Structure formats: structure tokens, C-alpha cells
């Protein structure tokens, strides 16, 4: 039975990732900031293990790594993120830029122990500079900085045998994406899972969309 870990699975895209992997028969480790009130995450059938994690909280991250110290994680997806409206910019960077790298590093041994060895950091097309000069806004800048940090770590992760990518999930109807977004979480996650299933070492270190198109940086 393959194993997936979804970081930030309480709602939106992360909840649907947990739901679809569990429905496909995977063992799923799912993290939430509120494990005592798991809500819809607690109602998913199948083999789902719920863990506490605020991605800024180092002791919780250490406990999570310990909890899977004898397991392999075939697919690790760091999905947690914030739009940042009304937030302290430093907090937005901690969550959107620093945490995905720190979480990936902490869980790298478990991913390396698995068969598939896949790592997906959820980014956004709004973090693509594409010749943009100046600010992309607080959210876009935090994701552009995540993409930069990902590219800095990708060579070492690749030498460790991982297939690591950043992925844009599309514009999706969630609390973050809003009601006008064209994609449902079901469609976005179905696409993401197909792209992840097809990843090979040749795809490592690159920026993919939920539809399997390569995105420019
Ligand atoms: N929706 C879109 O159109 C879109 C487009 C491009 C990229 N994305 C990216 O896709 C990812 C998921 O977005 P979404 O639309 O599903 O957003 P969402 O509905 O707002 O859900 C965000 C998720 O991140 C979690 N989270 C936020 N801060 C956290 C923290 N400090 N520690 C742990 N978990 C935390 C939330 O947990 P709580 O419930 O505890 O707050 C929630 O599970 C994000 O990285 C986002 O930037 C989304």
C-alpha cells in the first residue's frame, strides 16, 4: 500500500488530496492545526492518520518526523499556505516560503525510505516572475521566494534520489481561491494526482501545473 502525506489537510485542496488518495487505497498521513476538531478530515474513510502541525511550530514538526521514523512516504505534498490578506508580511513568508522547505527537510528521510520518493511543494502561478520587475504582491513574492528556495535545494534533493517539483494547482474554488474560480477542488486534485503519478526523474527540479504543463519561473 503506497503512502502519502498531506501537509495542511483541514480544508480546500489539502482536504481533497487526503480524500482522493485515501479513496484510491493509499495510506494517508494528514496534518491539521486542529486535530481535536478534525471536521471533514475526520470523516474521511480509509486508512488516514491525523497529525497536529502548525508549519511554523518546530516541536510539532519534530514530533511528526518521529511519528513516521520507521515508515516510507511515497508522496509528500506540502499544501499549507495563506493568501496573506491583513497578515504580518514576515508571518506570510514564514508560512509560504520558509515552512515548505523546513518541512521537506525534516521529512526527507521518510520520503527517501519509500519506493516512489516524490516531493511536491504547492506554489502558485502568481509566484512566477516571467520577466516581471518589482513586487508581485505579498502573496506572489512569498511564492516566488519559495520557488527560488526550491531551486536552490533541488540539486541536493535530486542527488538523494528524490523526484521533487513545485506545482500550481490551478485557480480553485476554496476559501483562498474564492467562489469565482473556474476549477473545483475535485478537478484540480484529480489533475495533480495524475501529474504526480507520472513524475519521473526527468521531471525533477521543475515547475508543473495541475494539468501537466511545465510553467516558466
Ligand atoms: N485556491 C487557489 O486558487 C490556489 C491557487 C494557487 C495556489 N494555491 C495554493 O494551494 C494551497 C492550498 O490552497 P487552498 O486554496 O486550499 O487554501 P485554503 O482553502 O485557504 O486552505 C489553506 C490550508 O492551509 C492550512 N494552513 C494555513 N496556515 C497554516 C499553518 N501555519 N500551519 C499549518 N497549516 C496551515 C490551512 O489550515 P487551517 O484550516 O488550520 O487554517 C488549510 O488547510 C496553498 O499553498 C495555496 O497558496 C491555491
CATH number at residue 66: 3.40.50.720
Q: Report helix, strand or coil for 9.
A: coil
Residue 90 is assigned to a structural domain of this protein:
yes
Residue 217 lies in a domain: no
| Residue 133, burial from CB neighbour count under 10 angstroms (0-12, 13-18, 19+) | exposed
171 lines ligand 1 (CB under 6 A): yes
Ligand 1 atom, smallest distance to 10 CA: 43
Note the pLDDT tens digit of each residue in 67-89: 999 999 999 999 999 999 999 99
172 lines ligand 1 (CB under 6 A): yes
Q: Residue length, the chain?
A: 217
Mutating to test ligand 1, I would choose from 18, 169, 175 the residue with most ligand atoms within 8 A of its C-beta, which is 169
Helix (H) or strand (E) holding 43: none
CA distance 136 to 217: 13
> If you measure from the C-alpha of residue 174 to the centroid of ligand 1, how many angstroms do you get, rounded to a whole number?
9
* Backbone conformation region of residue 98, classed left if phi is above 0, alpha if psi is from -120 to 50, else beta: alpha
Mean pLDDT within 93-98: 98
Q: Would you say residue 214 lies in a domain?
A: no
Residue numbers of the domain that contains 165: 3-209
In this prediction, residue 30 carries a pLDDT of 98
Residue 57 CB less than 6 A away from ligand 1: no
Question: What is residue 134's predicted lDDT score, i.e. its pLDDT?
Answer: 80
Residue 215 covered by a domain: no
3 state DSSP class of 29: strand
Ligand 1 neighbour 210 (Cβ under 6 A) = no
Q: Which residue has the cell 520520503?
A: 111
Q: What is the pLDDT of residues 125-172, one digit of tens each?
A: 999 998 777 889 999 999 999 999 999 999 999 999 999 999 999 999
- Cα distances from 17 to residues 31, 42, 71, 196, in angstroms, run 12, 14, 20, 12
CB count within 10 Å of CB 30 equals 28
Residues of the chain above pLDDT 90, percent: 97
Neighbours of 105 (CB within 10 A): 14
pLDDT at 19: 98
> What is the CB neighbour count within 10 angstroms for residue 125?
16
pLDDT tens, residue by residue, 5-30: 999 999 999 999 999 999 999 999 99
Residue whose CB lies within 8 A of the most ligand 1 atoms, among 5, 6, 9, 13, for a mutation test: 13
Contacts of 15 (CB under 8 A, 6+ apart): 9, 40, 41, 185
The total number of structural domains in the chain stands at 1
Amino acid at each position: 500500500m503506497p503512502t502519502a502525506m498531506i501537509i495542511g489537510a483541514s480544508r480546500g485542496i489539502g482536504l481533497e488530496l487526503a480524500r482522493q488518495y485515501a479513496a484510491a487505497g493509499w495510506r494517508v498521513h494528514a496534518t491539521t492545526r486542529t486535530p481535536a476538531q478534525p471536521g471533514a478530515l475526520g470523516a474521511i474513510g480509509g486508512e488516514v492518520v491525523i497529525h497536529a502541525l502548525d508549519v511554523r511550530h518546530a516541536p510539532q514538526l519534530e514530533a511528526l518526523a518521529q511519528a513516521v521514523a520507521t515508515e516510507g512516504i511515497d508522496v509528500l505534498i506540502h499544501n499549507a499556505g495563506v493568501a496573506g490578506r491583513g497578515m504580518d508580511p514576515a508571518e506570510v513568508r514564514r508560512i509560504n516560503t520558509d515552512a515548505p522547505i523546513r518541512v521537506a527537510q525534516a521529512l526527507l528521510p521518510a520520503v527517501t525510505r519509500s519506493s516512489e520518493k516524490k516531493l511536491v511543494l504547492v506554489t502558485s502561478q502568481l509566484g512566477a516572475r516571467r520577466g516581471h520587475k518589482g513586487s508581485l504582491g505579498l502573496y506572489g513574492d512569498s511564492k516566488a521566494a519559495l520557488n527560488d528556495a526550491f531551486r536552490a535545494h533541488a540539486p541536493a534533493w535530486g542527488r538523494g534520489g528524490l523526484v521533487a517539483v513545485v506545482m500550481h494547482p490551478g485557480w480553485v474554488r476554496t476559501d483562498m481561491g474564492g467562489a469565482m474560480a473556474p476549477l473545483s477542488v475535485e478537478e484540480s486534485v484529480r489533475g495533480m494526482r495524475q501529474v504526480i503519478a507520472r513524475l519521473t526523474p526527468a521531471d525533477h527540479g521543475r515547475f508543473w501545473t495541475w494539468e501537466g504543463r511545465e510553467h516558466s519561473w
